A and B are shown apart, each in its own frame.
Chain A
Amino acid sequence: MMINSQDKITASQAVVVLANYILATGILTLPRTSVEKVKSPDVWISVFLGGIIAIIAAVIIVKLSQKYPDKTFYQYSQDIVGKWTGWFLSLLIIVYFFTISAFEVRIMAEVTSLFLLESTPTWAIILPFMWIGLYLISSGINSIARLFEIIFPITFVIFLLVAFMSLGIFEIDNLRPVLGLGVMPVLKGVKTATLAFLGPEIMLLLVALMKQSEKTKAVKVVLVGLTIPLFFYVITVVMVIGALSIDGVVTRTWPTLELMRSFEIPGLIFERFESFLLVIWIMQIFATFTITYFAAALGLAQLFKKNIQPFIFGLLPIIYIISMTPKNINDLFKFGDMIGNAALFLFGVFPVLLLFISRLKGGKT
Chain B
Amino acid sequence: MWEKILAYIPELKVFMQGFIVFFIPYIIFKLFNGIVSKQEMNDDDMVKIKGQTKPNDELEDQTEESSQESFDYYTGNYNLDVGLVKKEIGHNWDVHFREFHIGNTDIRAAIIFLDGLSDKELIDKHILTSLMGDFSQKDELESLYEKGVFLQSFIKNEVLSVSDITEEYDVKQSIGKILAGTTALIIDGMPNVLMLGIAKGKSRNIEEPVSEALVRGPRLGFTEMLSDNTALLRQHGENSDLSIINFQVGKCTKKELVIAYVKEIADPNLVEEVKKRIETINIDDVAESGYVEQLIEDNYLSPFTQVQNTERPDRVFAALMEGRVAILLDGTPFALIVPVTFSMLLQSPEDYYERWLPSTLIRLLRYLAAAITLFAPSIYISFVSFHQGLIPTKLALSMMGTREGVPFPAIIEALIMEVAIEILREAGLRLPKPIGPTMGIVGGLVIGEAAVQAGIVSPIMVIVVAITAISSFAIPQYNAGISLRMLRFVAMFFAALFGLYGVILFFLLLCSHLVKLKSFGIPFVSPTVPYRASDWKDFMVRMPLMMMKRRPKMLHTKDSSRQD
Q: A interface vs B, CB < 8 Å? A: 10, 12-13, 16, 112, 116-117, 120, 123-125, 127-132, 134-136, 139, 143, 145-147, 149-151, 269-272, 275, 278-279, 282-283, 286, 313-314, 316-318, 320-321, 324-325, 327
Given contacts A116-B501, A271-B391, A275-B387, contact A316 B511 (CB under 8 A): no
Distance of A120 Cα from B499 Cα, bound (Å): 10
Known pairs A271-B391, A325-B8; A313 contacts B512 (CB<8 A)? no
Interface membership of B18, Cβ < 8 A:
yes
Extra inter-chain contacts (18) besides given A127-B21, A143-B515, A149-B528, CB under 8 Å? A13-B531, A116-B386, A120-B498, A123-B17, A125-B501, A131-B25, A135-B25, A135-B509, A143-B512, A145-B529, A146-B530, A147-B515, A151-B511, A283-B507, A313-B25, A321-B10, A321-B15, A321-B18
From B395, which residue of chain A is reached at the shortest CB distance?
Answer: A269
Given the interface pairs A116-B386, A123-B17, the reply to whether A150 lies near B499 with Cβ below 8 Å is: no
Q: Which residues of A are found within 8 Å of B509, using beta-carbon distances?
A: 132, 135
Report A-chain residues with C-beta under 8 Å of the C-beta of B412.
none
Asked if residues A320 and B504 are in contact (CB atoms below 8 Å), the reply is no
Q: Residue A117 contacts which of B15, B21, B386 (CB distance < 8 angstroms)?
A: B386
Question: Would you call B434 an interface residue if the criterion is a C-beta within 8 Å of the partner chain's C-beta atoms?
Answer: no
Counting CB contacts under 8 A, is B408 at the interface?
Answer: no
CB pair B21 A130 closer than 8 Å:
yes
C-alpha spacing A117/B392, complex, angstroms: 18
C-alpha gap A314/B500 in the complex (Å): 30
Distance to closest chain B CB from A63 (angstroms): 25
Partner of B515, one of A123, A125, A146, A321: A146
Which B residues between 364 and 396 are near A, CB-CB below 8 angstroms?
A: 386-387, 389-393, 395
Give the distance to chain B from A340, nearest Cβ to Cβ, in Å. 18
Judged by a CB distance under 8 angstroms, whether B301 is at the interface is no
User: Residue of B at shortest CB range from A130?
Assistant: B21
Q: Which of B148-165 contact A (CB under 8 A)?
A: none
Inter-chain contacts of A116 with B (CB < 8 A): 386-387, 499-501
Q: Is the contact region of chain B dominated by helix, strand, or loop, or is it mixed?
A: helix
Contact B501 A282 (CB under 8 A): yes
Summarize A's interface: helix, strand, loop or mixed.
Answer: helix
Whether the Cβ atoms of B17 and A117 lie closer than 8 Å is no
Are B386's CB and A146's CB within 8 A? no
Interface size on B, residues (CB 8 A): 43
In residues 1-15 of chain B, which contact A (Cβ within 8 Å)? 8-10, 14-15
> With A and B bound together, what is the CA distance between A264 and B173 in angstroms?
79
* A283 and B22 in contact, given A123-B17, A324-B14 (Cβ under 8 angstroms): no
Q: How far is the CB of B341 from chain A (nearest CB, A)?
A: 13
Distance in Å: Cβ of A210 to nearest Cβ of chain B: 12
CB contacts under 8 Å to A, within B132-179, are: none
Cβ-neighbour of B500 out of A134, A136, A275 (below 8 A): A275
B528 contacts across to A, CB distance below 8 A: 149-150
- Which are the 3 A-B pairs with shortest beta-carbon distances? A317-B18, A271-B392, A149-B529
Q: How far is the CA of A304 from the CA of B389 in the complex (A)?
A: 50
Least distance between B217 CB and chain A CB atoms (Å): 32
- Cβ-defined contact, B25 with A117, below 8 A: no
Residue ID in chain A nearest B18 by CB atoms = A317
Which of B14, B387, B391, B501 has the most CB atoms of chain A within a 10 A radius of its CB?
Answer: B501
Query: Cβ of B393: which chain A residues have Cβ within 8 Å of it?
Result: 271
Shortest beta-carbon distance from A131 to chain B in Å: 6
Contacts of A16 in B (CB 8 A): 531
Question: B509: nearest residue on chain A (CB-CB)?
Answer: A132
Whether B18 pairs with A117 at a CB distance below 8 angstroms is no
Among B503-529, those with CB < 8 Å from A are: 504-505, 507-509, 511-513, 515-516, 523, 525, 528-529
CB < 8 Å: which of A12, A134, A136, A282 contacts B530?
A12
Whether B392 lies near A270 (C-beta < 8 A) is: yes
Q: Choose one: B18, B22, B25, B515; the contact of A150 (CB below 8 Å).
A: B515
